């Protein structure tokens, strides 16, 4: 190779090296620029949480006929946990939801409860069914775990005194009958009271509760306790028997159509006995239609319409938008239970057991059910049955929503 050609080749090689170096430098700058750009574009970091999460257990059915109850319960827990975590969690700790399916069956409920207890939760929301609750409350009590049920109504859970860590956001089985009996004695001043109910399990249970409360009430007497078969009831004969015992008030448990026929038979006999019915008379227009003019002035023990609360209406609409289905009847009870629990956790510093239970009893929480709290037994306060009267085709609240002091008999 000639000398000139040699220098020319060396120059080209050097130029190539320089070009490659410039390319590598440019790529490095691009990478650094990309890294800086990523840092600038990255979203702001979320709340910094403590290492230990606040664990909330959810126990309910997710399969079978009662699955909608369990799914609604889990949805409420997830929604509120997400809201809490966006705002920094509870006590600076992330809220974590864990769930177990109990299928509303005792055996499976025991397995579900043991799994939840092993996770060391701060509290458990559920069970949905009283059957499951009966099987697991001893497990939770032994583990010192607070339990809040949105729809387990068995009276012994609160009235036995065995489960001081159990709470609920629904009225117990005897609440309606208790208020109806107290209303007849204390508000109406009735001393001679008849109790009539259908043969069904629910109606029979309510009739027994009502009769028991009346027997314990001073100045009151159960003058008739009668069960009827709805498809074979002789309303005229029943009316005659009510008149024969000179009942001043009738406490009636039955379907709306049965209530209408019983009322019509009484009024056709000329009886002015006060008619005190359960909540079903307001749930079906059949009662007012069949009873006609006789329906005016009827008393009923009802739950207030919670959908009149803007928050309740909003939550139901949100659920429909997400699931394209209706929430369970106790969805708002579950939501309220979780709201009360979250507030109590904050108040107690995210304590567990008895300290958390004390915080639940001490506070009031604004919920879709209204402003609720809990009494010493774990029963919800601030929402429940109330007495209403049918006037002008609609039921009007009388402001009677808790047992009254018994009325004294008039002097002879």
Inter-residue contact 163 to 149 (CB < 8 Å): no
- In this predicted structure, the answer to whether residue 108 has a pLDDT above a threshold of 70 is yes
Question: What pTM does this model have?
Answer: 0.83
Say what the pLDDT of residue 403 is.
55
* pLDDT, tens only, 298-317: 999 999 888 889 999 999 99
Quote the pLDDT of residue 13.
43
DSSP letters of 306-357? Answer: GGGSHHHHHHHHHHHHHHSSPPPTTHHHHHHHHHHHHHHHHHHTS--HHHHH
Cis peptide leading into 127, omega within 30 of 0? Answer: yes
Is the Cβ–Cβ distance between 372 and 383 less than 8 Å? yes
pLDDT in tens, 1-48: 444 444 344 444 444 434 434 334 444 433 333 333 323 333 334 566
Which residue bears the tokens 């008895």? 354
Average pLDDT of the segment spanning 150-173 = 97
State residue 9's pLDDT score: 42
| High-pLDDT (> 70) share of the chain, % | 85
Shortest CA distance to 183 belongs to which of 302, 286, 306, 265?
Answer: 302
Write 360-368 long-range contacts (CB < 8 A, 24+). 360/146, 360/148, 360/167, 365/336, 365/339, 365/340, 366/311, 366/339, 367/311, 367/332, 367/335, 367/336, 367/339, 367/340, 368/306, 368/309, 368/311, 368/312, 368/315, 368/332, 368/335, 368/336
| pLDDT, tens digit, 9 for 90 and up, residues 337-361 | 999 999 999 999 999 999 999 999 9
Tokens of 182: 């107290």
pLDDT score at 119: 97
- 3-class SS of residue 392: coil
Sorting pLDDT into bands at 50, 70 and 90, what band is 51?
confident
pLDDT of residue 402: 62
How large a percentage of the chain has pLDDT more than 90?
Answer: 74
Task: Using the predicted structure, report yes or no on whether residue 363 has a pLDDT greater than 60.
Answer: yes
**Residue 392: per-residue pLDDT:** 83
Q: What's the whole-number average pLDDT of the chain?
A: 87
The pLDDT of residue 47 is 64
User: What local confidence, expressed as pLDDT, does residue 3 receive?
Assistant: 40
Least confident of 59-73, 111-125, 285-299: 285-299
DSSP structural state of residue 16: H
Query: Which residues in 30-140 belong to E strands, given as ranges?
Result: 54-60, 95-101, 123-125
Q: Using the 8-state DSSP alphabet, how is residue 195 labeled?
A: E
Asked if 227 and 204 touch (Cβ cutoff 8 Å), the reply is yes
* pLDDT of amino acid 411: 37
CA distances from 313 to 10, 310, 327, 331, 374 (A): 83, 5, 12, 12, 24
Q: Which range is least confidently modeled, 153-157, 233-237, 282-286?
A: 282-286
Among the residue ranges 15-19, 221-225, 392-396, the one predicted with the least confidence is: 15-19
At residue 11, the pLDDT reads: 46
Structure token digits, residue 253:
């448990």
User: Per residue in 119-140, pLDDT tens?
Assistant: 999 999 999 999 999 999 999 9
Cα–Cα distance, 373 to 362 (Å, whole number): 8
Give Cβ neighbours of residue 217 (< 8 Å, ≥ 6 apart).
Answer: 181, 182, 185, 406
In this prediction, residue 348 carries a pLDDT of 97
> In this structure, are strands 394-400 and 386-391 parallel, antiparallel, or unpaired?
antiparallel
Averaged pLDDT, 184-203: 96
Mind listing the domains of the chain with CATH numbers? 50-171+306-381 (3.40.50.2300), 175-302+385-400 (3.40.50.2300)
Whether 145 shows a pLDDT value over 80: the answer reads yes
Q: What beta strand segments (E) does 202-285 contain? A: 221-228, 249-253, 274-277
């Amino acid at each position: 190779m000639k000398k000139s050609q040699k220098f020319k080749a060396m120059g080209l090689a050097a130029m190539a090296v320089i070009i490659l170096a410039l390319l590598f430098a440019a790529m490095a700058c691009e990478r650094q620029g990309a890294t800086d750009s990523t840092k600038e574009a990255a979203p702001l970091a979320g709340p910094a949480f403590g290492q230990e999460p606040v664990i909330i257990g959810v126990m309910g059915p997710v399969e079978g006929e009662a699955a909608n109850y369990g799914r609604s319960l889990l949805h409420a827990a997830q929604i509120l946990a997400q809201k809490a975590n966006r705002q920094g969690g509870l006590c600076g700790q992330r809220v974590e939801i864990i769930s177990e399916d109990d299928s509303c069956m005792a055996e499976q409920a025991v397995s579900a409860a043991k799994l939840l207890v092993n996770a060391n939760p701060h509290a458990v929301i559920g069970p949905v069914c009283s059957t499951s609750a009966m099987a697991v409350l001893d497990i939770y009590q032994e583990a010192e775990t607070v339990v809040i049920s949105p729809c387990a109504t068995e009276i012994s859970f609160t009235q036995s005194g065995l489960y001081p860590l159990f709470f609920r956001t629904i009225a117990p089985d005897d609440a309606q009958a208790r208020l109806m009996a107290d209303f007849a004695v204390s508000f109406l001043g009735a001393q001679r009271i008849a109790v009539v109910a259908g043969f069904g399990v629910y109606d029979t249970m309510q009739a027994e509760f009502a009769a028991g409360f009346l027997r314990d009430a001073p100045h009151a007497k159960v003058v008739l306790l009668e069960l009827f078969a709805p498809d074979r009831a002789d309303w005229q004969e029943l009316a005659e028997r009510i008149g024969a015992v000179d009942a001043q008030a009738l406490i009636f448990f039955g379907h709306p159509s049965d209530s209408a026929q019983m009322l019509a038979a009484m009024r056709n006999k000329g009886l002015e006995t006060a008619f005190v019915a359960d909540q079903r008379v307001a749930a079906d227009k059949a009662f007012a239609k069949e009873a006609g003019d006789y329906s005016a002035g009827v008393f009923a023990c009802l739950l207030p319409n919670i959908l009149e609360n803007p928050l309740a209406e909003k939550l139901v609409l949100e659920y429909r938008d997400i699931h394209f289905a209706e929430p369970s009847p106790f969805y708002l009870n579950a939501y309220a239970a979780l709201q009360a629990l979250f507030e109590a956790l904050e108040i107690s510093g995210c304590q567990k057991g008895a300290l958390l239970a004390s915080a639940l009893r001490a506070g009031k929480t604004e919920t879709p059910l209204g402003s609720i709290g809990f009494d010493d037994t774990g029963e919800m306060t601030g929402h429940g049955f109330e007495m209403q009267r049918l006037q002008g085709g609609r039921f009007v609240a009388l402001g009677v929503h808790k047992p009254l002091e018994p009325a004294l008999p008039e002097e002879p």
